């Protein structure tokens, strides 16, 4: 070890007297200063402005640590992006210089082993790499004084990733430096190897055996998790394996120059290093053998505790199987082909494999097409071609093996492709039960953690919550896509928030079908019955069945509309609620007078853990009045009158702003001058009108829950995007069991700066000009003194 340290000490001295080493350190410092100071000044400017103009400003929406260090314009992202430019320049002469000057032969003739030479020189490079880490450390230490509650765990993890990557690059550069006496050749060779390691992950991804091998060898993206604060054993071992392999190559290269052994023996040495390194890395990357350490303050890289609880509830002896069905002629095909398999597993399933490594993954490839989902696009594009011929053409265009894809008649024995519109989907199987996970036309594409949780809960529980919508009286349809209908919230497969994508069973209960209420009672096992804006008076038998359902404690949601009060009021009378006669009016310079904007009460904010409701639950309590709380638009709404009866406790969930609305009797004209309050015409005013109420009571040892609203449009297809309730009503009906909400367990604390904008500018000047200038002067003086000696 003493010899290794002596060689390292000598090499460090050479680096200290190297203009290249000083130049790289100064450039690296300038680069870090630029990419640290820019977002710091930006945040300081925003914070100063907000504090001056908004006394209620409490901090940024996103953690500042992430914004400054890890965003695309942050210090770590840019330091890693440009790292491959620095290391080849540093390492290209570390052995080439020795070989060219003949000093390496002097080392050979001394009582020094080759491995001591290699390890000594590499130890010097590691020391220089620590200097680069120290430069980044300047900004990390500064962040501790400039950011309140900076996330140290994330920064330390990112620093580890940076150091391992630069050390791996150094090992590669050391080996390439041993191959040639020309430093420029060694530098170019290092560039080529780094490029190859970054690109190899995209090679031969079609083939099962080579896919995992080349994907493992790729250095691209290896630091991504560590930059986000998640240290994994497989990533750490990968860098150690790369270092081990290239140091081994260097050792064998130098030793081979002094030996006269056959080339086959020398080749076997290299092969042994490669095979052992790849074997170690491949085995260590298996899910069951991978360790994880999330050291962020909020555990942001770890599945939510509720998700972990669901995974623990799965029977260890019953396999969980996930099958991907990829249609060559369907949407999302590019995400399901063999080349995309590893990114699919890494992006979607690795967080789950951390807690359940025995998930089984299967893949089914097929082709099927009927033209209904895209207006016969392929038939128009390839006129006269059969589906089989079109599949062959598409396979050739996308460079796929056509024999990989099943024909329609074969895959139809396994699934019904048309049930998912022929697009890529996943099917989960557990204890003989199945449920589909859909993909979506957004930037994420894959199902998210909430949807996977809901699917797992349904597989475990065996019984799904059922929501029935009354039909047959011109109610809002759960199948039509028109602007007034309800398909988006209920049965729309491409809407992430729809009930069927959160493990609900959704169906209609018609008053005229063979299984109508005229012949059958409302099923007792449903979670809730929804009656949305019927236009026809409900028959006596139907009313009796609904009343019977209410008497037994069934949950219910009723949405009415102005002008049709007479349809629902006979039913609502049993609940002590009535739709008031007339239409509410709220004058506004931007909207027609029928657009009423009620606020959400604190009772409504507690219905479910929807993001908007959670955010406002605390905010409402801090306000002097509820009038300033979260609001929604209800186009065409009437007020609700109510009096507690039948054991119900009634609480308003939506109320109009005080003194801003009145109830217009008769017809409300929208395309004329603004309406005027007229008591003579029957108009009435109240301090505030309730436009939505919740009713609860105890029946049969459980709480019965009912929602009544004076508008049915606010949750329609057209207005759903503005509906902050989301699935809150349906979650309330099932006591929060579905959908799975994942509120942030720990809110980020690093949301405020400790410095002002002028101070941030001063720090920029110090790190961008003063400190590099001092390094430049110091390095120059040192090199001049060295040259004089």
Radius of gyration in angstroms for the set of CA atoms belonging to the chain, rounded to a whole number = 34
Question: What is the distance between the alpha carbons of residues 778 and 773, in angstroms, rounded to a whole number?
Answer: 8
Count the Cβ atoms, other than its own, within 10 Å of residue 60: 17
Is the pLDDT assigned to residue 621 strictly greater than 70? no
Banded model confidence at residue 625, pLDDT cuts 50, 70, 90: very low
**Taking 70 as the threshold, does the pLDDT of residue 735 lie above it?**
yes
Residue 716's pLDDT is what? 93
| pLDDT at 103 (0 to 100) | 58
Give, as one character, the DSSP assignment of residue 753. Answer: B
Instruction: Write down the pLDDT at residue 466.
Output: 94
3-state secondary structure of 690: strand
Q: Are 422 and 336 in contact (CB under 8 A)?
A: no
Report the largest interatomic distance among the alpha carbons of the chain, rounded to a whole angstrom: 115
Q: What is the pLDDT of residue 106?
A: 54
* CATH C-level class of 518-535+545-733: alpha beta
Query: How would residue 283 be classed by pLDDT, with cut points 50, 70 and 90?
Result: confident
* pLDDT value, residue 622: 61
731: pLDDT confidence band, cut at 50, 70 and 90? very high
Backbone angles phi, psi at 103, to 5 degrees: -75, -20
Cα separation, 593 vs 638, whole angstroms: 13
Query: Taking residues 708-724, what's their average pLDDT?
Result: 90
Closest-CA residue to 689 (of 582, 769, 548, 538): 582
Q: According to the model, what pLDDT value does residue 617 have?
A: 77
Q: State the chain's mean pLDDT as an integer.
A: 87
pLDDT of residue 789: 63
pLDDT reading at 292 higher than 60: yes
Q: Around Cβ 330, how many Cβ atoms within 10 Å?
A: 22
| Region 668-684 average pLDDT | 83
* Residue 662, strand partner residues: 585
Q: Is the peptide bond before 739 cis (omega within 30 degrees of 0)?
A: yes
More confident residue, 448 or 259: 448
Q: Per-residue confidence at 107, pLDDT binned at 50, 70, 90? A: low
Cα 396 versus chain centre, distance: 33
Domain residue ranges in the chain: 2-296+751-788, 316-438, 518-535+545-733
Say yes or no to pLDDT of 287 above 50: yes
* 397-418 average pLDDT score: 91
Looking at the DSSP assignment, which residues form a beta bridge with residue 585? Answer: 662
Task: Report whether pLDDT(407) > 70.
Answer: yes
DSSP annotation string for 398-424:
TT--GGGSBPHHHHTTT--GGGGTT--
| pLDDT value of position 21 | 85
C-alpha to C-alpha distance for 420 and 424, rounded to whole angstroms: 8
In this prediction, residue 514 carries a pLDDT of: 46
CA distance 713 to 633: 9
Strands 583-585 and 528-532: unpaired
432 C-beta neighbours (distance < 10 Å), count:
8
The answer to whether 204 touches 217, Cβ cutoff 8 Å, is no
Instruction: Give burial (CB, 10 Å; 0-12/13-18/19+) of 238.
Output: buried
β-strand pairing of 528-532 with 466-471: parallel
* Among the listed residues 508, 568, 572, the one whose alpha carbon sits nearest the alpha carbon of residue 538: 568
Given a cut of 90, is residue 575 above it in pLDDT? Answer: yes
For residue 236, is pLDDT > 60?
yes
How would residue 624 be classed by pLDDT, with cut points 50, 70 and 90? very low
Helices (H) and strands (E) in the chain — how many of each?
30, 20
Q: What is the pLDDT of residues 513-563, one digit of tens each?
A: 545 676 778 888 899 999 999 999 988 888 999 999 999 999 999 999 999
DSSP-H helix ranges across 178-204: 183-199
What residues does 427 pair with on adjacent strands? 323, 436
pLDDT surpassing 80 at residue 102: no
| Average pLDDT rounded to a whole number, residues 467-472 | 92
Cβ contact 66:217 at 8 Å: no
Let me know: does 745 contact 305? Beta carbons within 8 Å. yes
Per cent of the chain over pLDDT 70 is 94
């Amino acid at each position: 070890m003493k010899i290794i340290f002596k060689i390292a000490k000598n090499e460090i001295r050479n680096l200290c007297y190297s203009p290249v080493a000083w130049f790289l350190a100064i450039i690296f410092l300038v680069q870090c200063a630029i990419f640290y100071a820019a977002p710091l000044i930006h945040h300081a400017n925003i914070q100063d402005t907000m504090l001056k103009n908004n006394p209620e400003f409490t901090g940024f929406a996103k953690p500042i640590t992430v914004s400054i260090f890890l965003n695309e314009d942050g210090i770590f992202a840019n330091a890693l992006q440009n790292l491959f430019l620095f290391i080849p320049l540093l390492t290209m002469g570390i052995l080439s210089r020795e070989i060219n000057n003949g000093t390496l032969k002097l080392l050979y003739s001394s009582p020094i082993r080759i491995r001591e030479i290699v390890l000594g020189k590499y130890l010097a490079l590691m020391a220089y790499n620590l200097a680069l880490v120290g430069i980044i450390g300047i900004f990390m230490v500064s962040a501790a004084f400039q950011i309140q509650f900076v996330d140290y765990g994330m920064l330390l993890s990112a620093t580890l990733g940076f150091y391992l990557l630069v050390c791996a690059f150094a090992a590669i550069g050391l080996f390439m430096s041993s191959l040639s006496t020309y430093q420029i050749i060694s530098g170019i060779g290092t560039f080529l190897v780094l490029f190859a390691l970054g690109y190899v992950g995209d090679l031969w991804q079609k083939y099962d055996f080579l896919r995992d091998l080349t994907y493992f060898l790729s250095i691209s993206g290896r630091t991504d998790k560590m930059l986000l604060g998640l240290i994994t054993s497989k990533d750490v071992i990968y860098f150690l394996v790369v270092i081990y392999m290239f140091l081994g190559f260097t050792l064998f290269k130098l030793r081979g120059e002094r030996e006269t052994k056959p080339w086959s023996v020398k080749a076997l040495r290299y092969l042994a290093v490669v095979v052992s390194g790849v074997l170690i890395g491949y085995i260590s990357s298996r899910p069951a053998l991978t360790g994880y350490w999330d050291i962020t303050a909020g555990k942001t890289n770890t599945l939510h505790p509720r998700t972990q609880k669901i995974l623990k509830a799965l029977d260890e002896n019953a396999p969980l199987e996930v099958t991907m069905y990829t249609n060559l002629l369907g949407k999302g095909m590019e995400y399901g082909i063999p080349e995309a398999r590893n990114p699919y597993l890494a992006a979607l399933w690795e967080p789950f494999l951390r807690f359940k490594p025995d998930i089984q993954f299967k893949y089914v490839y097929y082709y099927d097409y009927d033209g209904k989902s895209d207006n016969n696009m392929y038939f128009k594009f390839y006129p006269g071609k059969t589906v089989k011929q079109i599949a062959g053409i598409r396979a050739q265009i996308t460079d796929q093996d056509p024999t990989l894809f099943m024909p329609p008649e074969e895959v139809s024995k396994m699934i019904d492709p048309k049930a998912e519109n022929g697009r890529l989907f996943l099917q989960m199987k557990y204890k003989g039960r199945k449920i589909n996970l859909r993909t979506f036309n957004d930037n994420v594409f894959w199902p998210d953690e909430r949807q996977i949780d809901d699917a797992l809960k349904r597989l475990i529980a065996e019984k799904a919550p059922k929501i029935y919508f009354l039909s047959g009286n011109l109610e809002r349809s759960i199948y039509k896509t028109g602007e007034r209908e309800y398909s988006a919230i209920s049965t729309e497969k491409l809407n992430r928030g729809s009930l069927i994508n959160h493990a609900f069973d959704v169906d209609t209960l018609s008053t005229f079908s063979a299984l109508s209420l005229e012949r059958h009672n409302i099923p007792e096992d449903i979670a809730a019955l929804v009656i949305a804006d019927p236009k026809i008076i409900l028959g006596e038998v139907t009313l009796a069945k609904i009343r019977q359902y209410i008497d037994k404690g069934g949950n219910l949601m009723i949405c009415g509309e102005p002008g049709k009060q007479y349809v629902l009021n006979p039913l609502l009378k049993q609940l002590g609620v009535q739709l008031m006669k007339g239409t509410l009016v709220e004058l506004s310079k931007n909207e027609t007078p029928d657009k009423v904007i009620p606020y959400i009460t604190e009772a409504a904010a507690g219905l479910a853990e929807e993001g908007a409701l959670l955010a406002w639950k605390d905010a409402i309590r801090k306000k002097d009045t509820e009038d300033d709380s979260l609001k929604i638009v209800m186009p065409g709404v009437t007020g609700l009158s109510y009096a507690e009866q039948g054991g119900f406790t009634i609480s308003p969930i939506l109320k109009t702003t005080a003194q801003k609305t009145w109830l217009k009797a008769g017809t409300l004209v929208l395309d004329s001058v603004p309406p005027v309050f007229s008591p003579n015409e029957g108009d009435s005013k109240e301090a505030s009108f309730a436009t939505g109420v919740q009713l609860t009571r105890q029946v049969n040892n459980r709480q019965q829950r009912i929602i009544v609203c004076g508008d049915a449009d606010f949750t329609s297809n057209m207005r759903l995007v503005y509906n902050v309730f989301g699935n809150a009503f349906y979650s309330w009906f099932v006591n929060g069991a579905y959908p799975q909400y994942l509120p942030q367990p720990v809110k980020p604390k690093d949301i405020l700066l400790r410095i002002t904008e002028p101070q941030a500018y001063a720090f920029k000047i110090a790190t961008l000009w003063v400190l590099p200038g001092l390094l430049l002067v110091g390095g120059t003086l040192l090199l001049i003194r060295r040259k004089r000696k």
